[in-house]
Structure 1
Amino acid sequence: MNRLTEKSIDCPYCGESIDILIDSSDAQQQYIEDCQVCCKPITISVYENVSGELEVSVYSEDDVF
């Protein structure tokens, strides 16, 4: 079964909206993906909220989380 979900995020560097694929079978994950527009590394954090929906947060290299 394909558990990939497409989400739109805004790059914390250039502000462009880009689409990413996340694996919805792993609700607690963090990884780095380069922006498709400016090529800078975005830290992507995926977690499940209290309603059971996947939430995505993005951070630049300089952000503390």
Structure 2
Amino acid sequence: MKCPHCGHSIGITLDASNGNQEFYDDCPACCHAIHLNMKVDELQQKVELFIDDNYE
């Protein structure tokens, strides 16, 4: 994924076994917090990751 603040590419590992999750991660380049929402659709076997780029 890319940091919404500085554009730095960040590798993350997702664990979908706990279902939908909301969490924060800090960008290693600019140190800004990144708000992430992971939605798990077990019926379609799909995981979607949403990055909130308006989070202050």
Q: Sort the TM-score into its range (normalised by shorter chain).
A: 0.7 to 0.9
Q: Which residue of structure 1 lines up, in the alignment, with residue 44 of structure 2?
A: 51
Q: Residue type matched to 1:54 in 2?
A: V
User: Where does the alignment leave 5 or more consecutive residues of structure 2 unmatched?
Assistant: none
TM-score (norm 1): 0.69
Superposition pairs of residues 1-65 of structure 1, within 5 angstroms: 9-49=1-41, 51-60=44-53, 61-62=55-56
Number of aligned residue pairs:
54
TM-score (norm 2): 0.78
The structure with the largest strand share of the pair is: 1
RMSD of the TM alignment (CA)?
Answer: 1.6
Distance 1:27 1:38 in 2: 29
How far the C-alpha of 1:16 sits from its partner, in A, is 1.5
Task: Using the aligned pairs only, state the percent identity.
Answer: 30
The structure with the largest helix share of the pair is: 2
How far the C-alpha of 1:36 sits from its partner, in A, is 1.6
Distance 1:25 1:10 in 2: 24
C-alpha contact (below 8 Å) 2:2/2:9 kept by paired residues: yes
